[in-house]
Amino acid sequence: MIILNNKKFAETEDEFINSLFKVGGTCVGYAKRLKRQIKLFNHKKTQVGVINQHGVLGSATPQKDGKTWYSYMDIKIIGEYKSYAQEKDKIESLSINKDSKGYFFK
């Protein structure tokens, strides 16, 4: 499970279902860790954000042509962090390693 700004993202279907019935809060969506990024999805499994290899949390908007538009705006279901440093610390804690090209998440 990934927690961003006190909003939970399940990494499996079981985590999402269990969050509905257990104390601690319901997940707002899903997260998929890839080697160099983490994709964030809402509860309908539509991509709403991404954490890229450079540690940037950005919004993702699906386009009609099937592509995705990425931008630096805040993701509505996550909200705005109190400080940029708090956001960067959380993203760094999600990584497993870092090299000259950026972070590894898986």
Q: Are 2 and 90 in contact (CB under 8 A)?
A: no
- Residue spans per domain, the chain: 2-104
Q: Are 1 and 10 in contact (CB under 8 A)?
A: yes
Kindly report the pTM of this predicted structure: 0.91
Q: CB within 8 A of 104, min separation 6: which ones?
A: 35, 36, 95, 96, 97, 98
Per-residue pLDDT of the chain (106 residues; tens, 9 = 90+): 999 999 999 999 999 999 988 877 899 999 999 999 999 999 999 999 999 999 999 999 999 999 999 999 899 999 999 999 999 999 999 999 999 999 999 8
pLDDT of the residue at 3:
94
Residue 33 buriedness (CB in 10 A; 0-12 / 13-18 / 19+): middle
